[in-house]
Amino acid sequence: MKIKIADLEFEPLINEDLIIERTKAIGQQLNADYLQSIPVFVGVLNGSFLFIADLIKQINIPCEIAFTKLASYYGGTTSKLKIRDDIDLMVDIKGRDVLIIEDIVDTGNTLHYLIDKLKQREPASIKVCSLLLKPEALQSPIEELKYVGFEIKNEFVVGYGLDYQEMGRNLRDIYKKVE
């Protein structure tokens, strides 16, 4: 069923059941991959808040959870080169295994910015888990991107934490913009 948010129309792309199923599989992979350490999961607000919550519930190894807040869209539907750094990470990550949790990787600018910033703090490792990836939009490869929920086309999406003009974050499914 199509929905309207502000001036745009959206149609269903990925439903809640599929998101949960994929999240469980990624969680199991993380439980195995981080068995030997106590990782720090770094959630990137706002868009990933539901994914962080659902993913973290699948984790059964000791871990810490921290947050940072970045913005690159400022309410529109295209990614901006300039990144706004709203809230910095409050934990010391020196010598720690860090896993960044993102909602979506588009051009990759946000992640490159965050990875460069966190690397200066000398963590033992940095990897990234993103629910969504737009491979056609990615401007340069991100070596640290090890876990991806779904690859999608270069289209604007909302729901399950993702917004258009700050609305639509509450939707249980992911929707794409009707062209």
Q: Closest approach of Cβ 67 to Mg ion, in Å?
A: 12
- Binding mask 2-41 vs ligand XMP (x if CB under 6 A, - otherwise)? ----------------------------------------
- Whether 106 is catalytic is yes
Q: Closest approach of Cβ 45 to Mg ion, in Å?
A: 7
Site residues (vs Mg ion, CB under 5 A) = 47, 103
The residue with tokens 């129309």 is: 9
- Range 143-176 burial, b when 16+ CB lie within 10 A, else e: ebbebbbbebeeebbbbbbbbbeeebbebebbbb
| Segment (H or E) for 67 | strand 64-71
Query: Which of 23, 27, 30, 79 lies at the binding interface for ligand XMP (CB under 6 A)?
Result: 79
Short-list 84, 62, 65, CA closest to 73: 84
The residue with tokens 């629910």 is: 131
- Binding mask 143-162 vs ligand XMP (x if CB under 6 A, - otherwise)? -------------xxx---x
Cis omega (within 30 of 0) on the bond before 46? yes
Would you say 11 or 122 has its CB closer to ligand XMP? 11
**Burial of residue 65 (number of CB atoms within 10 Å: 0-12, 13-18, 19+):** middle
Q: Closest approach of Cβ 158 to ligand XMP, in Å?
A: 5
Catalytic residues: 106
> Residues in the site for ligand XMP, rule: CB under 6 A?
47, 72-73, 79, 102-110, 156-158, 162-163
